[in-house]
Amino acid sequence: MAETSTATKRYAVVTGANKGIGLEICRQLTSHGIVVVLTARDEEKGLEAVQKMKDSGISDNLVVFHQLDVADPDSIASLVEFVKTKFGKLDILVNNAAITGAVLKS
C-alpha cells in the first residue's frame, strides 16, 4: 500500500478493542491504511492485542494503544489529549466498549 501524507491520512479510535468485534474492527481499518488507536480498560490486554496485530503483519505505524475506561471522565480526557497531540484530528470513532452497571437517574 502506498504511503499517504499526514494531511490525507485518516485516524480512528476503537473503544473496547482488545478482543472480539473491537479487535476485528481494528484489523479491518488498518487494512485500509487507517491509523488506529486501539483502546482497552486493561493496559496489559490492550498491549497484547496490539502485539498480536503487529505479529500478524500490521505495520507499527498503523496501530497504537491507549488505555481507556469509558466510565472515567479523566480517562476520556486523557485519550482526547493524546489524539489531539499525536494526530491533530480524529476521523472515525467506534464506540464498541460496554459499560455495565450503569444507573440512569431520573
pLDDT in tens, 53-82: 999 999 999 999 999 999 999 999 999 999
Q: Is the pLDDT of residue 1 over 70?
A: no
Cell of 101: 452497571
Do the Cβ atoms of 14 and 37 come closer than 8 Å?
A: yes
List the domain boundaries for the chain.
14-94
Q: Residues near 98 by Cβ (< 8 Å), separated by ≥ 6?
A: 16
Where does 14-94 sit in CATH, by number? 3.40.50.720
Q: What pLDDT, on a 0 to 100 scale, did the predictor assign at position 8?
A: 87
pLDDT in tens, 39-50: 999 999 999 999
How many residues in the chain?
106
Q: What is the Cα–Cα distance from 14 to 22, expressed in whole angstroms? A: 7
